[in-house]
């Protein structure tokens, strides 16, 4: 058999191998949206010319061995793209199934060689691709998150909002919110771009983003306000207000980030969900530390005891939230119990204060009326959140605006503002009327 015939046979074998090769043998994380078909075809032609499949020039067959895997992969990708286009053409009626935009830098092309170094065995650059077929999605694949990710990378995710049934199972949280969901992005940058258009998480994002910025600016303003209003204010006084505002910024900032990135991927959503819960614990600590300071204005021992108790409970709750040992359904009730215990612990210093100073005095020196209003906001928010009202009564009507989670967010902000007003009033009363020995 002459060399042209042997090259032709080898080429046919490679094409057969590339098309029949089990897809599971391809590398991981291949994304069809990362391939430019024209550059791919050019690469294949260049490789064929390089190994002299289509020329009559003589060469040593050993010279082609290093780039045969690259050639086989390129052919496999070409065939895969053809099959994907055929599949998507059949799904053309579904608006979300638009073909991705193929665009990446040029694929590696082998350098030209001469007959003098034809026997060189230096491997050609590898074509780094991976299989789109090893899916990490969980549950419903009616619209593949991997495919939606390619849409996002092409900058088209902003034009596509999904219905509840088109989401993967891990992302299906509230069955009464029917439309307005962002596609799975797989990218923090793409998720961040969703700030620029309206979807069913927009209110959840901005209802905590704007107050977080306001509380952050309040860190600066409160220092000026206190120093101008009170001549003998102490460093501890400044710290109490700054600490509360910082905990509010932390809670609202983590909540904003969670609702921004919750469409990134299952792993990222779960990570930021835990951080969101930690933010709630942090704000609870900020509430209690400032409230205890006002209740026990001249009682440093009781103040330190309750601060220590609240701090230990808070740190324990945070540890349980982040520890892998306490994750999963088995420890769900235990996690909820520690969360509730931390919240209820705030009643201990209030009850102690009522016993020490009397109810009427506590209403003046501790800011308790505002704490009761704050508790009312949180209780109403929890009831709305738990019952998923009003969307549970009118499914689909509150997809974008007015859902239970959005109302809960707004009530949390009202509660934080009420707490700040309460400690300002309590501080004013204590500073002007109570003199510590």
Report the distance separating Cα 407 and Cα 203, nearest Å.
9
First to last CA, the chain: 109
In Å, how far are 99, 163, 262, 317 from 143, measured between CA atoms? Answer: 13, 10, 17, 37
- Both structure tokens of 85: 């286009």
Q: Report the DSSP beta bridge partners of residue 162.
A: 181
259 is in an annotated binding site: yes
- Both structure tokens of 63: 């010279």
199 is in an annotated binding site: no
405 is in an annotated binding site: yes
Element of type H or E holding 89: helix 68-90
Q: Report the DSSP beta bridge partners of residue 131.
A: 28
Cα–chain center distance at 244: 26
By three-state DSSP, how is residue 339 classified? Answer: helix
Asked if 338 and 317 touch (Cβ cutoff 8 Å), the reply is yes
Residues 6+ apart with CB under 8 A from 40: 74, 77, 78, 81, 107
- Which DSSP string corresponds to 138-190? -S--SS-HHHHHHHHHTT-GGG--B-GGGS-GGG---TT--S-BPPP-S-HHH
- Both structure tokens of 352: 């102690």
Longest CA pairwise span in the chain (Å)? 109
Report the distance separating Cα 130 and Cα 30, nearest Å.
3
Report the distance separating Cα 259 and Cα 191, nearest Å.
9
The answer to whether the bond into 390 is cis (omega within 30° of 0) is yes
- Both structure tokens of 167: 């989401």
CA angle, 48 as apex, 44 and 52 as ends, to 5°?
170
Report the distance separating Cα 338 and Cα 113, nearest Å.
70
- Return the number of other C-beta atoms located less than 10 Å from residue 62's C-beta: 11
φ, ψ of residue 74 to 5 degrees: the values are -60, -45
Asked if 252 and 211 touch (Cβ cutoff 8 Å), the reply is yes
Residues annotated within a binding site: 259, 405, 409
Annotated binding site for Zn(2+): which residue ranges? 259, 405, 409
């Amino acid at each position: 058999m002459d060399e042209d015939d042997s090259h032709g046979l080898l080429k046919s074998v490679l094409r057969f191998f590339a098309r029949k090769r089990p897809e599971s043998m391809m590398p991981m994380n291949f994304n069809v949206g990362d391939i430019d078909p024209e550059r791919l075809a050019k690469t294949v032609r260049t490789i064929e010319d390089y190994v002299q499949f289509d020329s009559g020039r003589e060469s040593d067959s050993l010279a082609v061995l290093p780039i045969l895997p690259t050639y086989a992969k390129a052919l496999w990708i070409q065939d895969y793209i053809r099959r994907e286009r055929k599949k998507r053409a059949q799904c053309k009626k579904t608006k979300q199934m638009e073909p991705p935009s193929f665009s990446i830098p040029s694929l590696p092309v082998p350098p030209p060689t001469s007959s003098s170094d034809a026997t060189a065995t230096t491997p050609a650059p590898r074509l780094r691709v991976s299989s789109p077929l090893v899916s990490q999605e969980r549950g419903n694949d009616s619209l593949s998150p991997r495919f939606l990710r390619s849409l996002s990378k092409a900058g088209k995710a902003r034009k596509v909002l999904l219905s509840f049934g088109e989401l993967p199972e891990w992302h299906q949280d509230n069955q009464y919110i029917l439309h307005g969901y962002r596609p799975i992005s797989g990218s923090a940058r793409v998720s961040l771009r969703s700030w620029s258009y309206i979807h069913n998480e927009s209110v959840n994002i901005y209802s905590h983003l704007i107050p977080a910025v306001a509380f952050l600016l309040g860190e600066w303003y409160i220092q000026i306000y206190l120093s101008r209003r009170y001549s003998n204010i102490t460093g501890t006084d400044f710290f109490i207000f700054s600490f509360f505002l910082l905990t509010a910024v932390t809670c609202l900032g983590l909540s904003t980030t969670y609702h921004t990135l919750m469409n990134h991927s299952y792993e990222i959503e779960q990570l930021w969900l835990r951080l969101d819960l930690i933010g709630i614990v942090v704000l609870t600590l900020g509430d209690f530390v400032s409230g205890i300071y006002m209740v026990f204005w001249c009682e440093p021992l009781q103040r330190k005891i309750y601060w220590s108790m609240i701090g230990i409970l808070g740190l324990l709750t945070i540890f349980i939230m982040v520890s892998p040992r306490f994750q999963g359904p088995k420890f769900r009730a235990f996690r909820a119990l520690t969360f509730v215990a931390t919240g209820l612990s705030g009643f201990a210093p209030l009850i102690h204060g009522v016993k020490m100073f009397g109810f009427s005095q506590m209403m003046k020196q501790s800011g308790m009326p505002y704490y009761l209003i704050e508790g009312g906001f949180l209780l109403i928010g929890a009831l709305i959140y738990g019952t998923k009202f009003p969307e549970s009564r009118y499914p689909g009507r509150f997809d974008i605006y007015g859902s239970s989670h959005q109302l809960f967010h707004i009530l949390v902000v009202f509660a934080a503002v009420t707490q700040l007003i309460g400690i300002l009033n309590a501080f004013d009363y204590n500073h002007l009327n109570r003199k510590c020995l």
